Each structure stands twice: as C-alpha cells, then as structure tokens.
C-alpha cells in the first residue's frame, strides 16, 4: 500500500491533468481515482471532496514553500516564489480560476492564503495583537489574503504574458506604497 503522501500526490496530479481538459465542476471522483490508479474509497480516505484536494494542492505547492522565506524575513522573495509556483502549473491554475459559486477558486485560495498569513502573523506579533481596537491580526491576514488572491486571479485571467516575478514585484510594490504614491507614479 502506498504511503499517504504518495497517494495525495497521485490524486493531485490526476486532478491537475483533468482540470486542464475538463471544467472542475464536471470532474468526478471516479475520474480522478481512475487516472491515479487507485480505487474510489481511497480518495475519501485522503480528501472529503475535490475542493479539499484543490486546497491541499494550493497549500503544498504554493503556500508551504513560502512560509520559511516569510519566517526568515524574505517577504518579497516569498511572494515571488508563490507566483512562480503558480506559473509552473499555469494551465491548471488558469482553468481552476474559472470555478465560481460557493466553491470558487478565489474563495478557496483566499482561505488558504489567509490561513498561512494568520499563522505567520501570530508567530510575529501574537494571536491577540491588534493594529487598533477593531483591527486584530486575523482581519489583517484576511485583508492581505484578499489582495493577493485578487492579483493572482487577475493575472491568471489575463491573456497577457507577464512573468511571475514581474507580477510578484508589482504586488509587493502595491503592498508597500500608499495609493497616493502609486497614483503619483502613474502620472
């Protein structure tokens, strides 16, 4: 019997291959398991549904690798790595970002990014730290997750060929400058 991590990866690769050719909403668990070479009950031993599998892919392929960079103070490099990891499987993510509704790509990736940022921020300033009375760490994580997922989705939906490092640099610039500064630069 293969180890859990191996089965997770097999299911993820199968799912990613299917998403490139079929809308996510139309992909069945049976199609994922058939392509992965495992039986259907095996899927449910690892994931609740295909949306949880997508969360796992986002966490393991995009977010987990950037946490050590963030923890080391390399925030810009972490964002660059995140966008580069998306770029490696851009066909998959481009198709996945078309998911709408309750299990939209944007809501899933935003949830995953928020979780990573909240954990990082808790390590840095503590869980109960606040910017002021109404802005706790959790809300800051949500704010930054929304902005990153927005930029990521717009990049994926764009027909422009923009390298991941350029998108990451632009995102980092927007995070570190006021709207006034940005408008001034645009003039």
Model confidence at 2, in pLDDT bands (50, 70, 90)? Answer: low
Q: What pLDDT was estimated at residue 148?
A: 96
d(CA 27, CA 96): 12
Residue 3 has pLDDT above 90, yes or no: no
* pLDDT tens per residue, range 121-149: 999 998 788 888 888 899 999 999 999 99
pTM of the predicted model as reported, rounded to 2 decimal places: 0.90
Model confidence at 101, in pLDDT bands (50, 70, 90)? Answer: confident
What does the block give as tokens for 3? 């180890």
d(CA 149, CA 114): 10
Residue 7 has pLDDT above 50, yes or no: yes
d(CA 61, CA 65): 7
Confirm if 116 and 57 have CB atoms less than 8 A apart.
no
Q: What pLDDT was estimated at residue 1?
A: 44
* pLDDT tens per residue, range 18-77: 999 999 999 999 999 999 999 999 999 999 999 999 999 999 999 999 999 999 999 999
Tell me the mean pLDDT in the region 94-110: 92
Q: Name the average pLDDT for the chain.
A: 93
Confirm if 84 and 173 have CB atoms less than 8 A apart.
no
Tell me the mean pLDDT in the region 12-19: 97
Residue 167 has pLDDT above 70, yes or no: yes
E strands present in 43-158:
none
Domains parsed from the chain with CATH numbers = 4-47 (1.10.10.60), 73-186 (no CATH)
């Amino acid at each position: 019997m293969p180890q859990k991590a191996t089965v997770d990866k097999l299911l993820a690769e199968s799912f990613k291959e299917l998403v490139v050719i079929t809308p996510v909403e139309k992909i069945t668990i049976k199609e994922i398991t058939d392509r992965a070479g495992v039986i259907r009950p095996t899927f449910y031993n690892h994931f609740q549904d295909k949306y949880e599998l997508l969360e796992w892919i986002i966490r393991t392929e995009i977010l987990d690798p950037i946490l050590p960079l963030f923890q080391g103070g390399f925030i810009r490099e972490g964002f660059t790595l995140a966008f580069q990891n998306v770029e490696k499987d851009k066909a998959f993510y481009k198709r996945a970002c078309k998911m709408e509704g309750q299990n939209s790509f944007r809501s899933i990736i935003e949830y995953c990014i928020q979780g990573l940022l909240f954990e990082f921020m808790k390590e840095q300033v503590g869980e109960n730290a606040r910017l002021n009375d109404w802005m706790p760490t959790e809300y800051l994580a949500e704010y930054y997750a929304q902005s990153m997922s927005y930029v990521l989705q717009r990049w994926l939906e764009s027909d422009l060929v923009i390298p991941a490092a350029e998108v990451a640099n632009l995102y980092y610039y927007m995070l570190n400058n006021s709207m006034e500064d940005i408008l001034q630069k645009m003039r």
